[in-house]
A and B are shown apart, each in its own frame.
Chain A
Amino acid sequence: VRVAAVIAVGALALAACGSGDDSNDAAPSATGFNAAVGSVYAPTTTQSSGTLQLGSSSDCDSWDPASTYLQFCWNLQRLFSRGLMGYDGKPGEAGNVVVPDLATEPGKANDDFTEWTYTLREGLKWDDGSPLTAADVKYGIERTFDQELLAGGPTYHLCRLSPCDDEGVTDYAGPYKDEGGLDSISTPDDTTIVFKLTEPFAQWDYVMAFPSASAVPEDRDTGADYGKKPASSGPYVFDEYRADRSVTFTRNENWSPDTDPIRRPLVAGVKLNIFSSADDVDQRLEAGTLDAPVDGTVQPAFQSKIVSNPDLKAQADNPVTSFTRYLIASPDVAPLDNVHCRRAVQYAVNKTALQRLRGGTYGGEIANVMTPSNLPGHDAEANPYPNGDDNTGNLEQARAELEECGQADGFKTKLAYPGGDERTENVATAAAQALERVGIDAELVKGPGRTFYATFVGSPENVKEQGLGIQIMSWGPDAATPYFFWDQIAYGKNIKPVANYNQSMLDDPRSNEAIEEMTRTTDNDRLAELGQTVDEVAMEAAGMVPYVFDKSLFFRGERVANAYTLSGLNGYYDFVNMGLNE
């Protein structure tokens, strides 16, 4: 168990050591299937005068760095938006690591991680040629405090920079309502910025890599309209935006590669084309009118073509994302309040069937623990509830657990799933069928599509009222560290009346202490150990029933060069460094 953790952390540490290298030329290159996973496909440093054509089936939740939460949008923010830290532009595990972006080096923390100091690089400029200073970084963060105007982004920093009341209202209301500014951020000069936190937080460098910590020039801020024409500090300018239709990025003449160790732009422009369906995107990818997809895995129809056609398969990549798909066995709903009944679910679930419905081996790897395989703390050997060599279920063991639970003949419960997604509905149906084999009669309950996690299963009261004993769930961390994976789903203090993601109601002192310690250490070995501890506690409680670690299947067009998937951003291609072979 420990060996696996050490290997994972070792890989991460090695990657971190190499982060000073400002070129991915040294990264391994490959061709064919998965050539862009862990290596660079068609590496090049040649500049192309062409435009990279990207395709998406939806627009971003917001183009304002303060208000976006979709990881594919975070990835696209790299084209024009920069913060103090950012994900390294490298394939493999190195892409999980945040490195200095606007800053010259990672934040310098005091002993208890309550004060962080960054120094900005010299010569930083906005796209209009004006200098980018520490005040711009401060302002960019300050404006995120106006949650009435700029909701939607990550909020880890809010109560850590301004005291909050019980409802989560910060003292500071943002620059539009409070002109005094945020006292906890100081900028003694143009290149220094100091953060004084309300509590220790060792993961601050990762928070500084979120788009919500991007610099924004106050004189170009248009409030809620900023996302229509955000200023650019990156290598591309956000040139033309047609909501739900397209975004055109052109090169930023005032960006200098000397000030940016992460980005090596290779094309004259990037165009995001937004279509009405993912199938439409797939067809255009196959026809060659698009170069790469930005917002998700290929659809089942194209997947079957890819896997059966060697030529198409040679253009595909199948990275692991950071998402774990799992079921919740809720301890709030009898008889699942008995751990043996929850363990019966762990044994009875047919992971192979669920994996098949998620796209087979191209859609995900069988999961026996919660921590995704590309995250520190993942234990590849652990399997606390072995459910058969073929992972179709250990029915004998499940029945034994039911007997210990006092439900030898099984029991009735409800299985909740979000509406509007056929694949998820099929997974729910298959899960119910698997449980029925041991007498667990799970009635399917379709919840609202868009607010399922926030208000349906995210409301403990609703779960109790409706008796939603089993729930469909998936989770991916906002940053590739154990803290961001576990904080919301396993920390007792994060059990909330709504938008509760700790649906297994885990409130164990061992996991709580481990998560709290994660906020007080930057030691990667220790973080991996703590992550593993939480995983063990969560699996022991048996409220989370993992079945698949998600994988994406991406298709890169024939023109694409210098392609690799970025592990830290959910395995999407790193578009800011993607080139064209023409």
Chain B
Amino acid sequence: MGRYVVRRLIGACGVLVLVSIVTFAIFQVIPAASGASPAFLYVGKVSSPAQVEAVERRLGLDQPLVVQYGQFVKGVVVGRDYTNGVDTVRCGPPCLGYSFRVNEPVTKLIGERLGVTVSLTLGALVLWLVMGIAIGVVSALRKGSVFDRAGMMLALGGVSLPVYFTGFVLLLIFSYGPPWLRLFPDVQYVPFLENPLSWAHNLVLPWVTLALLYAALYARLTRASMLETMNEDYIRTARAKGLPERTVVRKHGMRAALTPLVTLVGLDVGALLGGAVLTEATFSFPGLGLLAYDAIDDQDLPVILGVTLVAAVFIVIANIVVDIVYAYLDPRVSYA
């Protein structure tokens, strides 16, 4: 297993290098080719060519692209030093660059925003797993019942409605609706350590928004998987042995039916940790998604590159974890 993990990690590094090259190329080469230097975003309205060149020097855009990329990689490995004119600012490894828009190392910005995205993702994950699996299992066990039909209609609705719509409707009702319905007024992210109660209270609507989408998907998948599993021969055998129905469902049905969900959970969580852009934007939550969104708007290249790489890291790690866990859960899968 150890060799398997090492092999996967080496492969993951290759993927990350590839992602960094592609992202670097997209956000550095294209603006350069169009002649619109990002330096124009930093100079004032009335600027001279000298001012544009000065900013290009500070951004490192006066260097050849290969050198710029080389410096980026060097920063990741050994860190880099920047100057604010008065002091030297150390950006320790893994230094993902420096945002000249807010004058902070990208790693620091990502660190500050990661807590928001993790709070959002993990809370929503609990909600969607509970809702999705419960609805899926009960629907499968009561196939064709009113609950099944209502549950699947709800799932269809959840899948069909985009996050920004669901979020907006929830805000309209519970934040800006009639005073007696304003259970969540003035939703803003509050760090957990600052006030845990306020943290949870402000996260309820974003959690529900995100969970509705994923719960719907998981309910449909769980239902389909449970239906298939409950028709297997070993389930019939278990029942024939006289096991209580609850044991049949929980120990024999759900365990087998839910194994494929592990893959999905891993990938979804990995992707969301990279930034739940729409949910964060809808609720003005300053997470990684909103950081990436703002960075693209401001052409803040180091931040774009940094967030993309971090998102890629999460997905790659999630993939590895899923593969390992899957092999553990399902003896038919080997670490070959």
Contacts and interface: CB of A to CB of B under 8 A. Distances in A.
Given A151-B51, A454-B40, A276 B58 contact: no
Contacts of B86: 176, 221-223, 225
A429 B171 CA distance: 34
A94 B222 CA distance: 69
A175 B280 CA distance: 41
A498 B52 contact: yes
Interface in A473-501: 478, 488, 496-499, 501
Interface string A39-70: 00000000000000000000000000000010
B2 interface: no
Contact of A167 (B43, B50, B89): B50
Given A222-B87, A287-B185, A287-B186, A451 B54 contact: no
B284 A152 contact: no
B168 to A, nearest CB: 9
Contacts, number: 145
Interface in B101-120: 102-104, 109
A289 B185 CA distance: 8
A277 B54 CA distance: 32
Contact of A276 (B186, B280, B298): B280
Nearest to B286: A245
Given A277-B281, A280-B284, A284-B186, A151 B42 contact: yes
B299 interface: yes
A38 interface: no
Nearest to A475: B45
Interface in A456-472: 456, 459, 462
Interface residues of B, number: 52
Interface string A265-308: 00000000111110010011011010000000000000000000
B175 A283 contact: yes
Given A148-B55, A243-B104, A499 B84 contact: no
B290 interface: yes
B44 interface: yes
A499 B46 contact: yes
A245 B102 CA distance: 12
B294 A154 contact: no
B33 to A, nearest CB: 12
A534 to B, nearest CB: 17
A9 B182 CA distance: 51
Interface in A142-188: 146-156, 164-165, 167-169, 174, 176
A451 B48 contact: no
A244 interface: yes
Interface string B33-66: 0111100111111111111111101100000000
Nearest to A175: B85
A18 interface: no
A149 B284 contact: no
Contacts of B87: 222-223
A326 to B, nearest CB: 17
Nearest to B47: A499
Nearest to A448: B36
B176 interface: yes
A499 B102 contact: no
A289 B100 CA distance: 33
B40 A167 contact: no
Interface string B141-184: 00000000000000000000000000000010001100000100
Nearest to B89: A225
Nearest to B40: A454
Nearest to A246: B188
A579 B58 CA distance: 42
Contact of B176 (A154, A286, A478, A496): A286
A152 B186 contact: no
B58 A149 contact: yes
Interface string A504-518: 000000000000000
Given A224-B83, A276-B281, 14 more contacts: A148-B58, A167-B48, A168-B48, A223-B84, A223-B86, A224-B100, A283-B175, A286-B176, A287-B186, A448-B34, A454-B47, A478-B45, A499-B45, A501-B45
23 contacts: A69-B45, A147-B50, A147-B51, A151-B42, A151-B43, A151-B51, A153-B44, A164-B48, A169-B48, A224-B85, A225-B103, A242-B286, A244-B286, A244-B290, A275-B284, A280-B284, A287-B182, A289-B186, A450-B298, A455-B40, A498-B40, A499-B46, A499-B48
In the A-B complex, list the 7 residue pairs whose CB atoms are closest, starting with the nearest.
Answer: A168-B48, A223-B85, A223-B84, A176-B85, A275-B284, A289-B186, A148-B54
